[in-house]
Structure 1
Amino acid sequence: MFRDESTKVIQKAHAQWGVQGPPSDSSEASGSSPPSISPSGTSGRSRTSIAESTGSSSPVSSEESRLAAPRVPLEITTTSVDRAVQFYLEHYVIGLPDEAKSGYELQQHRWVFAPTTRQVMAAVGLAGLSNIAGDKDTMLMARQQYGIALRDTAMALQNFQHHDVDITLRAVVMLGMFEIVRGDDQPTKGAQTHIMGGAALMRSVLPFFQSSPDGLRGLVQICYSMVATVMCSVQQLSPEPNVMIPTEPVPSMAQGILPPAFFDWIHLGSSTAVPEDVPAVQLIAIIARFVQLAALIRSRLLKDGRSETLDILKQALEIERELDEWETRQQDPWLFREERVGGNFFPPDAVFEGCYHVYTDMWTARVWTNYRFARILVNQLLVEAIERFPTTAPSLLSADQQRRSLDVIRRVARDTLVSTPTHYRHPRLERRHRELVEKTSGGAEIGAVQIPTLLFQLKVAAAAPGVPHSYYVWAREMLRTVFADTGMLQARRLGDILEKARPASPPAFIKLEDL
């Protein structure tokens, strides 16, 4: 899969640049040297930059030292790849859940210095910097690094037994992140390719994790990324991205929305999950059915009074019942609590209403966020059906059901906003703030992996029917902040889609130029 993708990308790049042969293996293009980056203090974040001491520490004789030329300041000698790697580490790693809290801590991680992951870090960093600055030349460099990273990942997979599993998996996840950051016409399609590759890779190494739940959790977590990415794609590719029952169908969406292997992975999870992981496996099966149903609805024009419409509403109502029962069944360690700090302790744009969640670990926190977007959307579907199908809907959906659905939407949408600091560290959060909101840890593995899903969930919560306007404003500004902070074009695109859901209003509190 990666060989095919690599070939296409590199051939396309060569056609654009007029280059013959493979991409250059120069030090700047290949990035074979370890990152040599100094503290910049310019990122606007409260995360610590990478320490300059990550360079070589090999001993030097006194004679060599005497003859050596004076050291040139690092800020002058750093390449564009160095700066891109630094941007990636400061904005996609340091301070995020279960990641290093400072540049010094990064020196303990082998993946930071691995050539393959360095290529992808450079690609993502260049893409983010390009989006923020609107610089097309930088994006061309990002594509070049991406092509090299695809080639190197393919080589690593060909000789997988000789490579570090953790490094290779991180590289695969970061390749998917590049698609989201770059934000082409169909960014989620490219991301899906890499998510599938990551899941297949995780499945192939699962026997090595039989004595630990980590292997299965990794596979199930990738499955959650898949359903969220597919659902986001279903909405983005529709002329009506903020509704569940469109008036303009997209027939192509009925075909193969989730790959057959996906359901094999779910079956594997169901048969091998330890008791504490059963809720996660049960939920992914329910959400997968909902995503397929949502794609089916997008592919055709439903009409009032038709048996097909009635059948689809029955399926939606059954999924809502199963999601409700899933939530009701949960007990420790799946329960979470909400905490609140009064007054103006937290920046209001970073922590919704001064509230945040505390979970057992990041594994359960991520499962809950996926539950929320599915619960909101299925109830939005029911609310829209009551209005759109006055003949068909009353036999299944009463006025009480409409009120229940609106109540569920408001409650779960609020939980989505309150849970945001668990997954994303807003640039305005200082150490005293983070000491409170960072009470959830463990199980994240890669901190940035949840951010693309979080972006979609914020859009879903803010565009849902019946939510207060303050939810819309807060989520919209959070999407703008994520784009200004990371350069993730998907954040801006989802923000643009969200703007279509409600009339624009002045930002309540954020000034992006202060970031």
Structure 2
Amino acid sequence: MAALGLAGLGNRNDDKKLQYQSELMYCEALKCTNKALNDPLKNLDAAIRATIMLALFQCVHMTHESHQNVRVHLVGCMALIKSAIPIRSVPAMGIRGLLQLCYSLWIADSSSSGFLPPDEKPGADLVHLIARFAQVNVTIRTTAFTDGRESTGGIIRQLLSIDLAMEQWEASQQGKWLYKVHRHPALPAEAVFRNQYHRYCDVWTSRIWNHFRWARLLTCQKIIEFVERYPASATRVVSPIQLDKIHYTIQRLAVDVLTSSPTHYKHPRLTREHLDIIQTHGGAGAGAVGIPHLMFQLQVAACAPGVPYDVWRWALDTMETAWGELGMLHVKSLAEVLKSHRAGLDRSDAEVVLKIEENEDERGGHV
């Protein structure tokens, strides 16, 4: 905790001495964690918390592009969880170990008379949907596409299929997975977007919903990008009605991400009385650990195609507030992504206006 606090203060004030002290404290934390890991099962909860805090330090200490150092600690957490269950260790950066853990638990469930916990099923189902999107996204990033080719239309179909599955996931939620939208005009506009907030059953449920939102936002964004880049392929696959629905979905989910923000981030403008009104409790921890996820989700929402300006502005203001409060470089670098995105939109708008004026001048000259 000392390393985190010193790093945040050092970053925010550009104080090299504090930054150096934070690195020394981080090294001490590594040593203490290493000792604790000699017998992690003795106090598994403390060992997991320690590795999570080490990962969080990397978010404070580095920009959002620096994933690898954070990943090292998160994979360490996976290994700790795996160590609590007697399964064989496997390679592949911990991914196989986590999958093996899942398979081992399913084997145990299959030989029992009980069902999988129904309240956890939506979260498990969503993992599969996000994995489908991630796989298609890798294909998009590593493949050259040509308009009119079957492979291009095939990718659009896959994205539409994933979006449909996500739509069905959203529509099927019931019981504890339902949430309510509340409006309170007295809440500060800087902390509560459009004076609205969500009330969830617990914090865990709210986190799963936000994972759904960013994943579907990116899925819809990819569909729009393919429609714009490859119109010949898109016209065979995407109808105008479907495209209108996708644009509407993007705007709705972007607003939902911002509306859910008070559940995950205690904005400094929120008083204790405000928090008593809006906060969701239980099911998972809150605090700084959830900030990197929320900031990524805000970035996805603010940079989604066609979202209103106030969505972008509010997301940026929240990021800058979090940066000023926490000194987390991860947050600062994501705020720069938002600024670059808006600058690009402004340039595009200026080019469109200039083109229109040139066309009008040409028509006037002919007259």
TM-score normalized by structure 2?
0.85
State the match for 2:58 in structure 1. Answer: 179
| Structure 2 counterpart SS, 1:501 | helix
Aligned pair 1:126/2:10, yes or no? no
| Structure 2 counterpart SS, 1:500 | helix
Q: How many Å apart are 1:309 and its aligned residue?
A: 2.3
State the match for 1:17 in structure 2. Answer: none
- AA of the residue aligned to 2:164: R
- AA of the residue aligned to 1:352: F
> Deviations for 1:427-483, whole angstroms, at most 9, x for unmatched residues?
011122111111x11111353322110000001001101111110100010010000
Percent identity at matched positions? 38
> Deviations for 1:115-149, whole angstroms, at most 9, x for unmatched residues?
xxxxxx12211111111011223222222222222
Q: How many Å apart are 1:390 and its aligned residue?
A: 1.1
| Structure 1 pair 184–381 and aligned structure 2 pair: CA distance change class (3 A) | closer
- Note if contact 2:55-2:73 (Cα within 8 Å) is conserved in structure 1: yes
State the match for 2:254 in structure 1. Answer: 413
- Note if contact 1:258-1:292 (Cα within 8 Å) is conserved in structure 2: no
- Note if contact 1:339-1:358 (Cα within 8 Å) is conserved in structure 2: yes
> Deviations for 1:376-411, whole angstroms, at most 9, x for unmatched residues?
110011111111111211222111111111110011
Q: How many Å apart are 1:268 and its aligned residue?
A: 5.4
State the match for 1:448 in structure 2. Answer: 288
> Deviations for 1:29-53, whole angstroms, at most 9, x for unmatched residues?
xxxxxxxxxxxxxxxxxxxxxxxxx
Structure with the larger helix share: 2
Aligned residues: 333
Say which of 122, 125, 138 aligns to 2:18: 138
| Structure 1 pair 268–497 and aligned structure 2 pair: CA distance change class (3 A) | farther
Gaps of 5+ in 1: 1-120, 208-255, 506-515
| Structure 1 pair 286–261 and aligned structure 2 pair: CA distance change class (3 A) | farther
- Note if contact 2:41-2:84 (Cα within 8 Å) is conserved in structure 1: no
State the match for 1:284 in structure 2. Answer: 127
Aligned pair 1:471/2:285, yes or no? no
Query: C-alpha separation between the residues in 1 aligned to 2:64 and 2:45?
Result: 31
- AA of the residue aligned to 2:298: L
| Structure 1 pair 403–257 and aligned structure 2 pair: CA distance change class (3 A) | farther
TM-score normalized by structure 1?
0.61
How large is the RMSD of aligned CA atoms in angstroms? 2.2
- Note if contact 2:182-2:199 (Cα within 8 Å) is conserved in structure 1: yes
| Structure 1 pair 462–185 and aligned structure 2 pair: CA distance change class (3 A) | closer
- Note if contact 1:269-1:281 (Cα within 8 Å) is conserved in structure 2: no
Gaps of 5+ in 2: 87-91, 110-115, 346-367
Say which of 70, 92, 99 aligns to 1:191: 70
- Note if contact 1:266-1:281 (Cα within 8 Å) is conserved in structure 2: no
> Deviations for 1:49-83, whole angstroms, at most 9, x for unmatched residues?
xxxxxxxxxxxxxxxxxxxxxxxxxxxxxxxxxxx
- Note if contact 1:356-1:437 (Cα within 8 Å) is conserved in structure 2: yes
Query: C-alpha separation between the residues in 1 aligned to 2:201 and 2:299?
Result: 26
Query: C-alpha separation between the residues in 1 aligned to 2:125 and 2:216?
Result: 14
| Structure 2 counterpart SS, 1:396 | coil
Comparing 283-292 and 256-265, the one that deviates more: 256-265
Query: C-alpha separation between the residues in 1 aligned to 2:64 and 2:225?
Result: 28
Q: How does 1:17-416 map to 2 (within 5 A)?
A: 121-162=1-42, 164-184=43-63, 186-205=65-84, 259-267=95-103, 272=109, 273-342=116-185, 345-416=186-257
